[in-house]
Chains A and B, each alone.
Chain A
Amino acid sequence: MHRRTLLKRLVAAGAATGLAPSSRVLAGRAHRVEIKAFAFVPARLKVAPGDEITWINRDVVPHTATAADESWDTGTLDQGQSATLTVSEGMQVRYLCAHHPSMVAELVLD
């Protein structure tokens, strides 16, 4: 199964995985990261477990948001497409675009 499909299905179904807690006691905050001009904006994002991050691609070419150790991945996002991830304890905080690896960013876990 493609990672992108897995990620989306898991987030949608609220299943217990290494990426999302099995029962969300408190609803976290929602964050947005825009992918534009070959950069993640913001490049550093303060988040806490239970928060949701939505990446949206504004560029004409496809991008991804992929953990540096490949432990999580939005999959390829075409222009206008988005993907959402739920933050978990201990998740990899450094990430990049798998297609354009000079594009890097990081999450700052509370």
Chain B
Amino acid sequence: MTLKRMLAGIGLAVSLAVAPASAESPADLNDLEIAHVAYTADNIDIRYAHLALGISTNPEIHKFAKTMIRDHTKVNELALALLKKLKVQPKDNFLSRSLIKGSEKLVDEMAGLRGAEFDKRYAENELAYHQAVNKLVEDTFIPNIENPEVKALFEQGLQIFKAHEKHAEMMVKSLQ
């Protein structure tokens, strides 16, 4: 599955056109913009997790959601500490805005669900979300990051998020 289709699957309307000079592409983001995307993606998943804790009564969903909050909060702490050390600020960009817009729609959708329907939707979205973000990080961000410390942090983050992807996969299977 292409990255564009994956991102479309999680509610993002992102143009990944490469040819026109005015088109916005994740491949064109600089380190500070990439850092902003990562911070935004972490916060979105934390938000989904809080929604799950509020709506779901499934203990496995709760365990997963608590891990998302724990781990994504830790990654954000490390990212902010690194940016502080480098004396830079993350920079807002088209991709962060698209992620936020897409997540608003999903929160509205999931907030209207209950019971098994919510659990299934949450689990499926977590799998799709982690698959899409992991592919973006591995194939586009990491190869393009210039600062070695930022690159190392993203490589560490990718390891964490791949474990989340596996956990989400197990969760989806258990709910079938």
Contact = CB atoms under 8 A, between A and B. Distances in A.
A37 interface: yes
Interface string B63-81: 1001100110011001000
Main secondary structure of the interface of A (DSSP, over half): loop
Main secondary structure of the interface of B (DSSP, over half): helix
A60 B159 CA distance: 11
Interface in B55-100: 63, 66-67, 70-71, 74-75, 78
Contact of A37 (B66, B159, B170): B159
B172 to A, nearest CB: 13
Contact of A61 (B66, B74, B166): B74
A61 B76 CA distance: 12
B163 A60 contact: no
A20 to B, nearest CB: 28
A54 B158 CA distance: 27
A102 B170 contact: yes
Nearest to A98: B63
B167 A102 contact: yes
Nearest to B78: A60
Interface residues of A, number: 11
Contacts of A100: 67, 163-164, 166-167
A61 B71 contact: yes
Interface in A54-110: 60-62, 98-103
B167 A38 contact: no
A101 B78 CA distance: 24
10 closest cross-chain pairs (CB), A and B: A102-B166, A99-B67, A38-B163, A61-B71, A100-B163, A61-B74, A61-B160, A38-B159, A102-B163, A102-B167
Interface of A: 37-38, 60-62, 98-103
